[in-house]
Amino acid sequence: MWEKINQNRLLAGVAGFLAIALFIEMQGLPSFGSKDAKLECQNESKSSVPLSETQLVKLINLKQGDSKASVRSLLKEPYCQLPTLEARKDAPSERDVYLVKSDDFLQFDPRTRIVVLYEGEQYMGYRFWVR
Amino acid sequence: MGTVIDGFMKKFASLFQRAKAAVILLSMAVLSSCAAVSSEPTIQELPLYQNWELQPGSEIGGYKVTGGLGDISIALNGESVYAPSTGDAYLDKRGCVYFAGADTPAYLFRFCGLKSPKLGQLQAGQAIAKADTLQFAALLKQSNGKWALVEPDKNLLERTLKPR
């Protein structure tokens, strides 16, 4: 009888130890307890069309310094915009956010976004936002 | 009586074996997660628009260069630097950290002098590392593929120095 109780106690102890160890271990993970990362989307558009693969290829081949008007006519209406930001002194930027139509992104990472940055009338660059 | 104790000892031994197996499994999990951390995201040396031979991380006269052209030196005195936005942190071979904000295309922010930085995906406001003296530089990609050192905006720099 007492033998049985001790066995259960030992198992409970081991289980407890493992639970505590796992908890400590999990706290080291980057996603533990942190909020889901989000872009500060403004002026969200319902009529915006996700970027096609053809548009993506053209986007990748754009040169820094291309005109904002020509890039916007290629990418069409953005999904949303980010608040104005100055990354360097006296150069306020406009940032457009696009969704991606490609299956690879839709199936495996539907939250993929592309951020496009302009300074003045110039296209500066893009960056993928994958989460 | 002897057999009861004997049986108990055997049970105990087998339980002990099981516990040991559990501990081994757990330590394997801990070790593998450490291994995942040690495969650090690195970045190749960037071609700089204004390239000086001596840069942070270079060596001169047997000493390490800690700052160079375009760096703003800040006496952090052991305090932390924080990710200015959601993004990714990479380590270069000189030991400097490059932060690529997901919402700041065309820009990279370089941090030198950090102590054991956190690399990979970071959330806005997440601590990257502590530093005694931080060397901060803002880099902007040029149309020829090179990176120019630019004057960083003070608000952005301030966000990297204050927790959220």
Ranges of chain B with pLDDT below 50: 32-38
Sign of CA dihedral B48, B140, A115, B121: positive
CA-nearest of A98, A95, A64 to B101 is A95
Please give the pLDDT value at position A7.
77
Q: CA of A31 to nearest chain B CA: how many angstroms apart?
A: 9
CA-nearest of B157, B154, B142, B156 to B50 is B142
Tell me what ipTM this predicted complex has. 0.71
CA-nearest of B85, B96, B82, B77 to B128 is B82
Say yes or no for a CB contact (<8 Å) between A88 and B8.
Answer: no
Please give the pLDDT value at position B19.
59
Q: CA of A60 to nearest chain B CA: how many angstroms apart?
A: 13
Q: Which residue of B19, B138, B143 is in closest CB contact with A87?
A: B138
Decide: A114 and A106 in contact? Cβ < 8 Å.
no
Burial class (CB in 10 A: 0-12, 13-18, 19+), B85: buried
By the CB < 8 Å criterion, does A26 face chain B? no
By the CB < 8 Å criterion, does B128 face chain A? no
Q: How many CA atoms are closer than 13 Å to the CA of B44, on its beta-carbon side? A: 5
CA-nearest of B147, B118, B143 to B130 is B118
Minimum Cα–Cα distance from B142: chain A residue: A64
Q: What is the pLDDT of residues A91-105, one digit of tens each?
A: 999 999 999 987 776
By the CB < 8 Å criterion, does A41 face chain B? no
Please give the pLDDT value at position B35.
46
A34: chain B residues, CB-CB within 8 Å: 123, 126
Please give the pLDDT value at position B36.
47
Report the distance separating Cα A54 and Cα A71, nearest Å: 14
- Hey, of B10, B15, B85, B104, which one would you mutate to test binding to chain A, going by the most A CBs within 10 A of its CB? B104
What is the four-CA torsion angle of B32, A104, A117, B67, rounded to 10 degrees? 20
pLDDT of A22 > 60? The answer is yes
Minimum Cα–Cα distance from B84: chain A residue: A87
Please give the pLDDT value at position B34.
47
- The DSSP call for residue A96 is E
B26: chain A residues, CB-CB within 8 Å: 18, 21-22
**What mean pLDDT comes out for the span A19-42?**
65
DSSP string for A26-62: HHTSTTTTPPPP----BS--SS--PBPHHHHHHHHT-
- Hey, of A32, A64, A113, which one would you mutate to test binding to chain B, going by the most B CBs within 10 A of its CB? A64
Decide: A33 and A49 in contact? Cβ < 8 Å.
no
For B37, phi then psi, to 5°, come to -70, -35
Q: Which residue of B29, B100, B142 is in closest CB contact with A127?
A: B100
